[in-house]
Amino acid sequence: MVSEAKGRLFRRKDGKFLLYIPVDLAEDSMFPFKANEANPSVMVKVSFKLGDKKLTVEEWEEEET
């Protein structure tokens, strides 16, 4: 089981930022987000608290209006 891995946050030439998550971590059976061929992407919410060097990543849940 892989519950921790070294990833990378980097800036592309077009100015967008990407967060790389290693395959070993993302394909672990306990990884909380499930992407597959039928659904290759998962919408996520990324947040942080001021002064804290941690990001929180959670599944994005659409709010019903």
**24 token code pair:** 């070993």
pTM of the predicted structure, to 2 decimals? 0.76
Give pLDDT tens digits for 2-54. Answer: 899 999 999 999 999 999 999 999 999 999 999 888 989 999 999 999 999 99
Give percent helix, percent strand, percent coil of the chain, each to the nearest 5: 5, 25, 70
pLDDT of res. 61: 83
Q: Is pLDDT at 65 greater than 90 in this prediction?
A: no
Cα–Cα distances in angstroms (integers) from residue 7 to residues 15, 37, 38, 52, 61, in the given order: 19, 22, 25, 18, 25
Q: What is the DSSP secondary structure assignment for residue 64, as one 8-state letter?
A: P
Q: What is the DSSP secondary structure assignment for residue 26, as one 8-state letter?
A: H
**61 token code pair:** 């849940």
pLDDT of res. 64: 65
